[in-house]
């Protein structure tokens, strides 16, 4: 009997999962992908758009055209999931039954959760580059900016691509140097963390880079209000940071359809998920991939890619009544643009923080070190995204599990 697999979300996770499942299961299953529109946005490119290093038209492609032949696509929002009845209720009134449900609904920006953020000054003095309209508006504002204080503020965690706000600071430093007005621009990075990043070794390296580039670092700042009219951030403890232009990374939450589905999501709207098998903790026939999963790793595209192989294997095993593969280790890697045609690379997992060395082996890309090679790697990723990652192909030399070869683990343990 043909099994029905429904995938909620046609972004990175939903697309690569659908394509991998189609190839693995061939005609054994009916696969349907659901999303509210047909616009697949290459989100890593949003970082470059404000600086004129990418163009909006190049970042968007058709969702359905990224899917392999034989995969059905429904252009509709999702109202809710009835996990007891194994059905998905779409916003257009259609009801889809499933044998396996894959949730790939991503993370949702919620700027309205911060007092004042979407009020006076929104998209004229206060911006976010985490969506296409915001990044486009910010590009115009940066072109017109001639001097003053620019504040980059992370309101709260978790967020998509945690290194992106730091990258924005580094690219802004480069951008204003290129325009010859860097001495007239004061850059400040404001974070709720107690350091520049979430892990000690990487935090020290990145804080050092901020200092070298003359970018102020304000830590443990929990933003309670953004006053776009007066030009200031106000923390819950009463501290204030003034700005002429603010780049704010808003609060993130899970998809609204998850919040509307009784018993499916947690308090933030993300889906409780086994961190090694990617099976939901709600029902054994529900699996989760990408930003929608409540697992202790970064909400980054690389994580979604590394999750794909394990998720597909476990959907197959579930349908066959076999034990699941518990091998996903939280593997994450991120290129960090540092400006002036250079970038860093970090590689880590649930148990190992970013450390120096090389990736994926002793001869490879340098870790936690600026290089032109890493910058070229980041630029090349755009091509790999559309032609390898989304089609569900394995990348040569890149394993799902974090490689240990080439890493200097003694640095994380206090060595030199």
Q: How many CB atoms lie within 10 A of CB 321?
A: 6
pLDDT digits (tens, 9 = 90+) for 374-386: 999 999 999 999 9
Query: Which pLDDT value is given to residue 413?
Result: 62
What's the whole-number mean pLDDT along residues 214-239?
98
Nearest to 329 by CA among 305, 307, 360: 307
Which tens digit of pLDDT belongs to each residue from 232-268? 999 999 999 999 999 999 999 999 999 999 999 999 9
pLDDT at position 203 is 87
pLDDT digits (tens, 9 = 90+) for 102-125: 999 999 999 999 999 999 999 999
CA angle 156, 401, 293 (to 5 degrees): 35
Report how far residue 6's alpha carbon sits from residue 11's, in angstroms, rounded to the nearest whole number. Answer: 14
Residue 54 confidence (pLDDT) above 50: yes
H or E stretch at 107 = strand 107-109
What was the pLDDT predicted at 412? 64
Per DSSP, the three-state class of 91 is: coil
What average pLDDT does this structure show over 50-59? 96
Residues linked to residue 216 through DSSP beta bridges, in sequence order:
188
Are the C-beta atoms of residues 47 and 31 closer than 8 Å to each other? no
pLDDT > 70 in the chain, percent = 99
Going edge to edge, which strands form the sheet with 245-249?
A: 126-127, 245-249, 148-154, 185-190, 216-218
Question: What percent of the chain clears pLDDT 90, i.e. is strictly above it?
Answer: 92
Mean pLDDT of 5-33: 95
Residue 371 near residue 365 (C-beta atoms within 8 A): yes
- Confidence class of residue 201 from pLDDT cuts 50, 70 and 90? confident
At 93, the pLDDT band (50, 70, 90 cuts) reads: very high
Quickly state the pLDDT bin for 414 (edges 50, 70, 90).
low
Q: Which element (helix H / strand E) includes 134?
A: helix 132-144
Alpha-carbon gap, residue 305 to 99, rounded angstroms:
24
Beta strand pairing call for 216-218 and 185-190? parallel
Residues 290/291/295/297 CA torsion (nearest 10 deg): 90
For residue 415, pLDDT over 60 is answered with: no
In the chain, the N- to C-terminal Cα span, in Å, equals 60
Contact present, 246 and 229 (Cβ < 8 Å): no
DSSP bridge pairs for 411: none
DSSP symbol at 373: H
Q: How many CA atoms lie within 13 A of 303 on its CB side?
A: 27
Does the N-terminal peptide bond of residue 149 adopt cis geometry, omega within 30 degrees of 0?
Answer: no
CB neighbour list of residue 342: distance below 8 Å, 6 or more residues apart: 370, 371, 372, 374, 375
Per-residue confidence (pLDDT) for residue 416, from 0 to 100: 45
Confidence bin at 410 (pLDDT 50/70/90): confident
Q: What is the pLDDT of residue 185?
A: 98
Which pLDDT value is given to residue 325? 98
Helix (H) or strand (E) holding 172: helix 164-179
Of 183-192, 281-290, 396-405, which gets the smallest average pLDDT? 396-405
Q: Which helix (H) or strand (E) holds 149?
A: strand 148-154
3-state secondary structure of 296: coil
For residue 1, name the pLDDT band (cuts at 50, 70, 90).
confident
Residue 129 in contact with residue 114, Cβ under 8 Å?
no
Q: What angle do CA 101, 90, 111 make, to 5 degrees?
A: 90
Of 294, 318, 289, give the one whose Cα is nearest residue 306. 289
So what's the pLDDT on residue 81?
98
**Please, what is the average pLDDT of the chain?**
95
Of 198-212, 314-328, 332-346, where does mean pLDDT reach its minimum?
198-212
Query: In terms of pLDDT, which residue wins out, 411 or 265?
Result: 265
CA 188 – CA 10 distance, rounded (Å): 36
Three-state DSSP at 227 gives strand
Helix (H) / strand (E) element for 358: namely strand 357-359
């Amino acid at each position: 009997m043909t099994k029905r697999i429904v995938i909620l979300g046609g972004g990175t996770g939903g697309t690569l999962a659908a394509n991998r499942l189609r190839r693995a299961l061939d005609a054994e299953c009916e696969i349907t992908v659901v999303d509210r529109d047909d616009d697949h946005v290459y989100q890593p490119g949003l970082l470059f758009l404000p600086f004129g290093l990418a163009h909006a038209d190049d970042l968007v492609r058709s969702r359905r055209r990224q899917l392999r032949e034989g995969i059905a696509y429904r252009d509709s929002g999702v109202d809710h999931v009835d996990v007891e009845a194994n059905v998905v209720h779409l916003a257009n009134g259609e009801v889809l039954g499933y044998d396996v449900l894959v949730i790939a609904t991503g993370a949702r920006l919620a700027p309205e959760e911060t007092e004042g953020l979407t009020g006076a000054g929104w998209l004229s003095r206060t911006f976010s580059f985490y969506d296409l309209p915001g990044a486009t508006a910010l590009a115009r504002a940066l072109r017109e900016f001639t001097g003053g204080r620019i504040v980059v503020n992370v309101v709260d965690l978790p967020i998509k691509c945690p290194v992106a706000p730091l990258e924005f600071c580094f690219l802004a430093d480069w951008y204003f140097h290129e325009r010859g007005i860097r001495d007239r621009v004061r850059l400040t990075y404001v974070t709720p963390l107690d350091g520049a990043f979430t892990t000690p070794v990487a935090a020290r390296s990145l804080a050092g880079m901020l200092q070298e580039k003359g970018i102020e670092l304000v830590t443990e700042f929990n933003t309670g209000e953004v006053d776009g009219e007066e030009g200031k951030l106000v923390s819950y403890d009463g501290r204030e940071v003034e700005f002429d232009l603010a780049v704010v990374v808003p609060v993130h939450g899970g998809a609204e359809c998850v919040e509307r589905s009784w018993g499916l999501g947690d308090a933030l709207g993300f889906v409780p998920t086994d961190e090694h098998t990617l099976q939901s903790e709600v029902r054994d026939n529900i699996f989760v991939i990408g930003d929608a999963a409540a697992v202790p790793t970064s909400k980054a595209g690389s994580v979604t890619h590394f999750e794909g192989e394990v998720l597909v294997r476990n959907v197959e095993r579930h349908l066959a009544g076999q034990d699941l593969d518990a091998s996903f280790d939280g593997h994450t890697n991120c290129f960090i643009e540092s400006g002036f045609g250079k970038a860093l690379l970090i590689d880590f997992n649930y148990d190992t923080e970013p450390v120096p060395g090389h990736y994926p082996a002793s001869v490879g890309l340098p870790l936690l070190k600026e290089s032109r090679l890493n910058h070229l790697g980041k630029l090349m990723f755009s091509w790999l995204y559309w032609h390898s990652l989304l089609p569900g192909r394995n990348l040569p030399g890149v394993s799902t599990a974090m490689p240990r070869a080439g890493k200097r683990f003694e640095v994380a343990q206090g060595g030199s």
